[in-house]
Amino acid sequence: MFNRKGNFLQQQGENLPNSPLYPHVKKQIQSGKSPIVIITLPIIERELEIWIPTGNKPWLSKTSKNINRTWLSIRPLVLAHGDTREAHKFDLLINTLNHASLFNEYTQITTLLQKEQDNLEKVFQ
């Protein structure tokens, strides 16, 4: 569950809040289409891959934060589709990404991100 600022509040047994904070979620679920924001995740992940060899830590950090923000916007949609397992797996991956500091850690995470992005897309098919 998230508060009004989008901060994660609860992890186990999540339910999508029935509050006016998520009107877009209801529309996208009812339309039966994959959310367009899912498409942006691989693009940002590719950006992370590009920055890894440069060794530019500020850009790696910035790109990681973009991935985190994008996930926070996708997460309620995944939960609304009832897939708490995929949400939990991606939460763990994002947590690992947030704590990465070595370049080989970023490389390992991008490999895992690609796999999990495919699984997230399957949630909406």
pLDDT at 122 over 90: no
Pick from 13, 36, 28: nearest CA to 87: 13
In which residue are the tokens 């992940």 written? 45
pTM of the model: 0.70
The tokens describing 72, both together, are 């926070």
Distances from the Cα of 18 to the Cα of 1, 2, 15, 70, 122, angstroms? 11, 12, 9, 21, 25
Give the separation between CA 71 and CA 124, rounded to whole angstroms: 15
Over residues 34-73, the pLDDT tens digits come to 677 778 888 899 999 999 999 899 999 999 999 999 999 9
Residue pair 123/86 in contact by the 8 Å Cβ criterion: yes
Provide the 3-class DSSP secondary structure of residue 16: coil
pLDDT at 25 over 80: no
Longest Cα–Cα distance of the chain, Å, equals: 44
